[in-house]
Structure 1
Amino acid sequence: MKKALIYRIVFYLLGLLVLALGLTLNTKAGLGVSPIISVSFSVAEIWDFNFGNTTLVLYALFVVVEMALHLMQYRRLWSDAAARDIAHAKQANLRLTLLLDVLQFPLSLVFTRFLNLFSGWIPTLETDYAGSFLGSFPGWFLFLCLAIVLTGVGAAASLDMRLVPNPGDGIVQAIADTVGKSVGFTKNCFDLCNITITIGISMVFAGRLTGVGVGTVVAVIGVGRVIALFNRVAQQRMAHCAGLSEKVQA
C-alpha cells in the first residue's frame, strides 16, 4: 500500500512537471498558446507582467469560482425538500470537495513557479533562433507539436492519479456539474470563452492578436487526442502501480 501511494504521488508530480513544461513550450513556439492560459499570456505580453504570476492570479480566480459553484450545487440540493436527506449525506462530500478546492491554491503557486522556471530556461524561437530552422515556421510547428504532446501527457498523468486537480481542469469539471453538461462539451465552450476574451483584450489594448494563432487551434484538437492515446496505452498500468485498479487490462 505504501509503495502504491509513492507511485501515485510520483506519477502526479511528474505529470504536473511535464504539463508545466508543455505549456511553456507552447508559449515559446510563437504560433499561439493553449486556450486555458491564453488570457494570462496575453495580459503578461501586453503589460509586460510576469507570465507565471499572471497565471497564478488567473488560477486563483478559477478556484474561487469553483468553490462558489460547489456551494451553489449544495444549496440547490438543500432547497429541494425531497432531496434534503440526500443533502445531509452529501455534506461530508462537500467538505472534502471544498478542501480539494482550497488545496488548489498552493498547487497553483508551485505550478506557476515551474512555469517561470521553464520560461527562463527555454529560449523564444522567433528571436533567439532567427535565421535558423528553429526560427522558421517548420521549426515553430515542430516545437508546437512537442509542446502539445507534453501538455497532453502531463495533463493525463496528473488527472489519472485523482488527487488535487489543476485549476484549469477543476473549473471545467465544476461548471459541467453545475450546468449538467458533459465535461468534453463544457471544455470546448470554456476554451472558446477564453479565446474570445483573449482576442478582446488583445485588440482593445494592443491592436493586434497576442496569444491566439494557429497553435491555439492545433492545441484544442491535439491535446485531447494525446490524452486519449496516452490513457489507452498507459492509464491502466499506471493505475495498477498506484493502487487505483485491481488489474491491468491487456
Structure 2
Amino acid sequence: MSKILLRRYLLFCVSLFVNALGIAFITKAALGTSPITSVTYVLSMFTPFTIGQWTIMLNLLFVIVEPFLMTRKDLKSDLRMYLLQIPISFCFGMFIDLCMHCILYWLNPAEYLHMIVALLIGCVILAVGIALEVKANAAMMAGEYFVKVITKRFHGEFGYVKLGFDVTLVAIACLLSLIFMSGIYGVREGTVVAALIVGPIVHFVSPYYNFLDKWITDPSLRQDIALQQNQHTIITIAREYGSGGHLLGEMLSKELGIKL
C-alpha cells in the first residue's frame, strides 16, 4: 500500500469518528436524529440493541443486497470498495456507541434552547466529518455506497436518489415507531433541521480542507495538475480568403472571453 493511500485511509477513519460524534450530538439533543440513523435510533428504543449495533446490522444488510443490484462486471471492478464496507460498518457502529455512551454520557439537555444548541453543534460536527470523508476519497460508507449502486442500476441522479433514500428511511422509522410504540418517537424537528442544514455546511467547510491536498496527492500528479492549470487555451482557425474565418474568430473570442 502506498504512503498516499495510507494517508487517505487514515483521514477516512478520522472522518468516520467525526461523523459518529456529530450523529451522537444530534441524537443526544433529544430532538430526533439525522435521517441516515433514524431507523436504527427508533429500533434501539424498543429493542435490547444499541443504535450502534443496529447501524452495523442495517449497513451489513445493505452490503448483502447490493450484489443483486449490480452486474458481475461492476462488482468485480469495484470489489475493493465493496468489501471495505464491512469493516467500515463495524467501525462506524462502534464509534457511534462510543460517542453516545462514553464521550457524551454527560450530555442530556433539559431545556429546549440547550437542545437546539446541541443539535446545531452536532450538525456542524457531522458536516465537518462528511467534508473530510469526501476529501479523503478512500472509501464509502454502506448507506452511500447503496445509494450509488441504486443510482447506477436505475440510471438516476445521485442527489435525487440520496434524497429519496433519506426520506424512505425517515418514513420507515416513523412506521416502526407507530407500530411498536404507538406514536412517533425518535423523529422530530431535529431530523428535518439536520436534513436541511448539514449539506450547505458541508459546501461551506469543504474549501478549508484544501491544505490537505499536498499531503494526500502524489507529487507527480500535483505537477500534472499544476501544468494543466497554467496552460493557456489557444484556438486556431484554418481558413481561406473570403471564407469569413476572421469574423468567426471574433465571434468565438467574444463568446469565450479569449483574446483574439
Q: How high is the TM-score relative to the length of structure 1? A: 0.81
**Pairing of 1:83-232 with structure 2 (within 5 A):** 91=73, 94-121=75-102, 122-123=104-105, 125=107, 128=108, 134-232=109-207
Amino acid at match of 2:133: S
- Structure showing the higher helix proportion among its residues: 1
| Cα 1:166–1:116 shift into 2, 3 Å | same
In structure 1, stretches of 5+ residues that fail to align are: 75-90, 129-133
Q: How high is the TM-score relative to the length of structure 2? A: 0.78
Counterpart in the other structure of 1:243: 217
- Higher-Rg member (1/2): 2
Whether the 8 Å contact between 2:29 and 2:118 is mirrored in structure 1 is yes
Whether the 8 Å contact between 1:30 and 1:140 is mirrored in structure 2 is yes
Deviations 1:52-105 (A, max 9, x none): 11111101011122222223xx5xxxxxxxxxxxxxxxx3x5314133212211
Whether the 8 Å contact between 2:67 and 2:75 is mirrored in structure 1 is no
- 1:227 aligns to what SS in structure 2? helix
**Per-residue deviation at 1:16?**
1.0
**Per-residue deviation at 1:48?**
3.5
Alpha-carbon distance in structure 1 between the residues aligned to 2:142 and 2:77: 16
| Cα 1:237–1:179 shift into 2, 3 Å | farther
Amino acid at match of 1:55: T
Aligned equivalent of 2:208, options 206, 218, 233: 233
Amino acid at match of 1:139: H
Alpha-carbon distance in structure 2 between the residues aligned to 1:52 and 1:45: 12
Alpha-carbon distance in structure 2 between the residues aligned to 1:65 and 1:242: 32
Aligned residues: 222
**Per-residue deviation at 1:190?**
0.5
| Cα 1:25–1:189 shift into 2, 3 Å | same
In structure 2, stretches of 5+ residues that fail to align are: 230-260
> Is 1:61 equivalent to 2:61 in the alignment?
yes
Alpha-carbon distance in structure 2 between the residues aligned to 1:185 and 1:112: 26
